[in-house]
Every structure is written in structure tokens, then in C-alpha cells.
């Protein structure tokens, strides 16, 4: 294993010279170190039977910006060689976007162009030639994500599934939601602790544990993931996708990839510090002199070994569904068929704080609202659901009636005016029944008073 972080700039150049020889380049040699003219390694390649020179700039740094590419391009243009010449910049870190754009405009593998190899590329090259090029102190370069969609269902299947729980709303009638995905960086770390604590009476405490942590890595200070998010990341069978091969832009209306807040080495050091703190305990024991003692047992850094660091992106899918006058948000973190819901406006009443899967919700086709039972009424003319928020109301036979609009209210006024008295009474059945009972009771008392019963 070659730990790129531990190398000096010159040692990195020496290593890259060996790497290029293993890759099949010819006449590989370093330029003079006394005069930095933007060329650290000179070599040749044969492409389609034609020999070409390659001028290489090695940068052992975290970030390479556009001026480095421009400088090498000038060195390529002035290099004295009888034939075509191209450039190459190699770094253990990453290239800025302006640097990549500048190189792309030049052309990476033709005469005068500049090819860029970053830390991720070096790892891949190392794997091909049997050399582990580890660069843990640079920015994490991750190209894997948990699968953002169900493998056999469409992008918006979770939204349609949520809609089916709402009464009076058919999934087939809803518009296509606007759906985006944010790739949130996570790091899983597996570490073992092997620590023994002894005093004059012998071993008083021992730790022999393996710990797996899922760390949220999209912030400067790492945070241990818990609950559903941890379960998604910790599931070893969760399917993953290669971000370079997956065309997420054609699936989602927007794609955001967030950067890792720290390097692999920093997550390793943070994990060790956290485990030392978590595994510290105070042990009480009796000494040879029959006196009780207590000792705080904290593992040393050397007692904790990080076995694996695995970076991955967790897709946070967010949908916006427009229904009538309302926009509803539905969001979840995904791992193929598994998901952890982070927001569901489709299980909330728009008029009150009622929320949760245990409630019954009804859709109002008049305004597009989702409502709890208390805010759902029956439209008098259409005999369909309407919410208390948009309904036009008026009292008939001492009972409030609900209508879609003023037109329906006016139509019912005319209908009500033409009703016979018994039909009007039935517009408030409890009142009508109560009135009948009162009349019967009154008749009974009258009959009793005159001796008829």
C-alpha cells in the first residue's frame, strides 16, 4: 500500500514515475527539479502507430485550480519535441470546476490537450496495476449511491401510494409531481476495540467489541445517524448505483450532490475519539490491602482499529404535488424498495394540526385540500365531500348546509322555497324528530289532564 498522504512532493513524483511505467508509457523520466517549468515527468506513448510526448505535472495537494492547467498548457506548447505533444496533471486531491472546464475546452487526449487525473482516478489505476494508492487525507471522492427508486416501480410510486390512503381522491387523476433528489453523503465506519486494563490485583476490565457507525457527513461536524436513516445505510443488501453510469438527470427534475464535510482520515480520527469517550467506564475493585479503589478505564487510541470506511450517498427524494389551490410535499430517503419518510403533507389536515397515519383524510375536489373528519362535510346539492374552508354556508331549518359555491347555494334556496312543510322539516332530521316527540308528549299531558288516559 502506498499512503499518498505521507509522501513528500518529490516522493509523489517518484511514485508516479513507477506507476506510469507499469501503465505502459515509454521513456518515463523526471524533468530537472531545479527549475520548475510546469513539467515534473516526461514520457512517451504510441497511439495508432504514432509516437507522442506527454508532459506531466504532479500536484500533491487537496485542490488544483485553473492556473495550474493554464501553466502546463503553456509548457506543452513550448516543449521541444519532434512530434505531437499533450499534457497531463495528476493530483492526490481534486480539480476545481473551472479547471475541469478549461481542460475540457482544450481536449484531454489530443495534441495540445491536457488530461486530468484526480485521487479517484489514481485509486482506479492502482487497482488495475495491483497497487493500493490510499489517499485518506484528501476530499472523499465517492461515485456510489443507494438506489433512489424502487427497482420495479416508477419514480413517483411512493406519492401515488400515499394518495391511495386519501378518501375521495383517485391516484389516476392526480398530475405528475415535480420530483428532485439530493444526494446526501454518509460514511459507515467499522472499528474494533481490544483493550485490557490491569492493576496490581490483575485484570479489572476488558473491552473486546466491534462497532459499526453510520455517520452523516454533509456538515463540518460529523453526526451519528440513527433510526431509519441508519437502517438504510447499514443494510448490507441495499442495492447501489454507479453515479457515473446512472443518468439521474433524466429520471428526476433536479439532482443535487452535496460534498463530504471531511476526509476519510478525519472520519477515522473522529470515530476513534468518539469510541474512546463512549467506552470509558469507571471500575471499582478491591486492592491487595483490602482497600476499595476506583479506576477510570479509557481505551488508548492504539486499542481501537478502524477496519473499514465506506462512503456512500443516500438519496433524499422530494416531491411537490399540486392539487387545486394547494401544494403538498412528500419526501423520503431511499434505498431501492426501502425508504424512510421525512415529510408527508398528504397525511395532514390543511385546516388544523391533525396529522399522522392513524387519522382518516378526505380530499376536497372543490379547492384541492386534504382534510380531517372534523373539517370534511357533505355538499348539499352534489352529495359529495367539501371542506369547511372553501364551502359556502347557510342555515336552513336551523341546520347549517354546505355548498361548493354561491350558485349551488342559490339553486338550493329556490328548491327549499318550493318544498312542502314536511320536506323542509326533514332538512334537519334531529330537529324534526324532536318536534314530533315534543308534540306527542304535549298531547299525552293534555289527555291525562282531562282524564282520557
Contacts (Cβ under 8 Å, ≥6 apart) of 160: 171, 174
Which one is predicted more confidently, 164 or 126?
A: 164
Domain spanning 3-129: which CATH class is it, in words? alpha beta
Q: Specify the pLDDT at position 40.
A: 87
Assess whether pLDDT exceeds 60 at residue 47.
yes
Query: Model confidence at 429, in pLDDT bands (50, 70, 90)?
Result: low
Inter-residue contact 264 to 186 (CB < 8 Å): no
Strands 94-95 and 63-64: parallel
pLDDT tens across 135-181, in order?
Answer: 666 667 788 999 999 988 889 999 999 999 999 999 999 999 999 99
User: Any idea what the Cα angle at residue 269 is, between residues 264 and 273, rounded to 5°?
Assistant: 145
pLDDT tens across 273-317, in order?
Answer: 999 999 999 999 999 899 999 999 999 999 998 888 889 999 999
Q: Any idea where the domains of the chain sit in the sequence?
A: 3-129, 146-318
Q: Rounded to whole angstroms, how far apart are CA atoms 346 and 355? A: 9
Assess whether pLDDT exceeds 70 at residue 353.
yes
Inter-residue contact 249 to 173 (CB < 8 Å): no
Q: Specify the pLDDT at position 176.
A: 95
Assess whether pLDDT exceeds 90 at residue 440.
no
Interval 363-368 mean pLDDT:
97
**Residue position matching grid coordinates 451519528:** 224
pLDDT tens across 242-263, in order?
Answer: 988 889 999 999 999 998 888 8
Query: Model confidence at 31, in pLDDT bands (50, 70, 90)?
Result: confident
Q: Rounded to whole angstroms, how far apart are CA atoms 26 and 242? A: 33
Assess whether pLDDT exceeds 90 at residue 425.
no
> Considering Cα of 406, then 411, then 412, then 416, what sign does the dihedral take?
positive
**Residue position matching grid coordinates 420530483:** 179
Assess whether pLDDT exceeds 50 at residue 324.
yes
**Residue position matching grid coordinates 506548447:** 77
pLDDT tens across 65-118, in order?
Answer: 999 999 999 999 999 999 999 999 999 888 999 999 999 998 766 678 999 998
Q: Rounded to whole angstroms, how far apart are CA atoms 436 and 160? A: 50
* Paired strand residues for 242: 144
Q: Specify the pLDDT at position 446.
A: 52
pLDDT tens across 188-245, in order?
Answer: 999 999 999 999 999 999 999 999 999 999 877 899 999 999 999 988 888 999 988 8
Inter-residue contact 348 to 179 (CB < 8 Å): no
* Paired strand residues for 167: 362
DSSP code of 423? H
Average pLDDT, rounded, for the chain: 88
Global pTM reads 0.67
Cell of 440: 306527542
Burial of 276 (0-12, 13-18, 19+ CB in 10 A): middle
Helix (H, G, I), strand (E, B) or coil at 355: strand
Query: Model confidence at 34, in pLDDT bands (50, 70, 90)?
Result: very low
* Rounded percentage of the chain residues whose pLDDT exceeds 90: 64
Query: Model confidence at 351, in pLDDT bands (50, 70, 90)?
Result: very high
Burial of 131 (0-12, 13-18, 19+ CB in 10 A): middle
Amino acid at each position: 500500500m502506498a499512503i499518498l498522504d505521507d509522501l513528500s512532493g518529490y516522493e509523489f513524483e517518484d511514485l508516479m514515475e513507477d506507476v506510469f511505467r507499469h501503465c505502459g508509457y515509454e521513456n518515463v523520466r523526471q524533468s530537472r527539479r531545479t527549475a520548475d517549468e510546469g513539467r515534473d515527468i516526461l514520457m512517451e506513448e504510441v497511439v495508432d502507430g504514432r509516437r507522442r510526448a506527454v508532459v506531466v505535472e504532479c500536484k500533491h495537494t487537496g485542490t488544483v485550480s485553473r492556473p495550474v492547467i493554464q501553466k502546463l498548457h503553456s509548457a506543452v506548447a513550448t516543449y521541444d519535441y519532434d512530434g505531437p505533444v499533450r499534457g497531463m496533471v495528476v493530483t492526490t486531491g481534486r480539480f476545481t470546476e473551472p479547471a475541469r472546464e478549461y481542460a475540457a475546452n482544450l481536449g484531454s487526449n489530443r495534441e495540445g490537450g491536457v488530461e486530468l487525473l484526480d485521487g479517484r482516478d489514481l485509486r482506479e489505476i492502482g487497482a488495475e496495476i495491483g497497487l493500493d494508492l490510499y489517499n485518506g487525507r484528501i476530499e472523499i471522492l465517492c461515485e456510489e449511491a443507494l438506489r433512489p427508486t424502487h427497482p420495479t416501480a416508477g419514480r413517483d410510486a411512493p406519492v401515488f401510494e400515499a394518495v391511495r390512503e386519501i378518501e375521495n381522491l383517485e391516484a389516476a387523476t392526480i398530475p405528475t409531481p415535480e420530483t428532485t433528489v439530493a444526494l446526501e453523503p454518509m460514511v459507515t465506519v467499522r472499528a474494533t476495540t481490544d483493550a485490557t486494563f490491569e492493576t496490581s490485583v490483575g485484570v479489572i476490565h476488558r473491552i473486546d467489541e466491534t462497532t459499526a457507525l453510520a455517520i452523516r457527513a454533509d456538515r463540518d461536524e460529523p453526526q451519528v445517524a440513527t433510526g431509519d436513516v441508519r437502517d438504510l445505510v447499514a443494510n448490507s443488501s441495499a442495492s447501489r448505483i454507479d453515479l457515473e453510469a446512472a443518468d439521474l438527470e433524466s429520471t428526476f427534475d433536479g439532482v443535487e450532490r452535496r460534498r463530504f464535510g471531511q476526509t476519510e482520515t478525519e472520519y477515522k480520527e473522529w470515530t476513534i475519539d468518539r469510541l474512546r469517550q463512549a467506552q470509558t467506564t469507571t471500575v471499582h475493585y478491591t486492592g491487595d490491602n483490602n482497600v476499595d479503589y476506583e479506576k477510570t478505564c479509557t481505551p488508548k487510541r492504539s486499542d481501537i482499529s478502524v477496519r473499514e470506511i465506506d462512503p456512500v450517498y443516500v438519496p433524499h427524494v422530494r416531491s411537490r404535488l399540486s392539487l387545486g389551490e394547494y401544494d403538498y410535499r412528500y419526501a423520503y430517503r431511499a434505498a431501492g424498495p426501502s425508504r424512510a419518510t421525512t415529510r408527508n403533507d398528504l397525511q395532514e389536515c390543511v385546516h388544523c394540526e391533525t396529522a399522522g397515519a392513524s387519522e382518516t383524510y378526505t380530499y376536497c375536489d372543490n379547492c384541492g385540500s386534504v382534510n380531517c373528519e372534523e373539517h370534511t362535510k357533505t355538499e348539499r346539492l352534489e352529495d359529495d365531500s367539501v371542506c369547511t374552508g372553501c364551502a359556502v354556508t347557510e342555515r336552513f331549518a336551523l341546520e347549517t348546509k354546505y355548498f361548493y359555491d354561491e350558485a349551488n347555494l342559490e339553486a338550493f334556496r329556490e328548491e327549499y322555497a318550493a318544498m312542502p312543510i314536511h320536506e323542509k322539516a326533514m332538512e334537519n332530521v334531529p330537529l324534526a324528530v324532536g318536534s314530533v316527540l315534543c308534540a306527542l308528549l304535549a298531547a299525552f299531558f293534555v289527555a291525562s289532564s282531562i282524564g282520557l288516559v
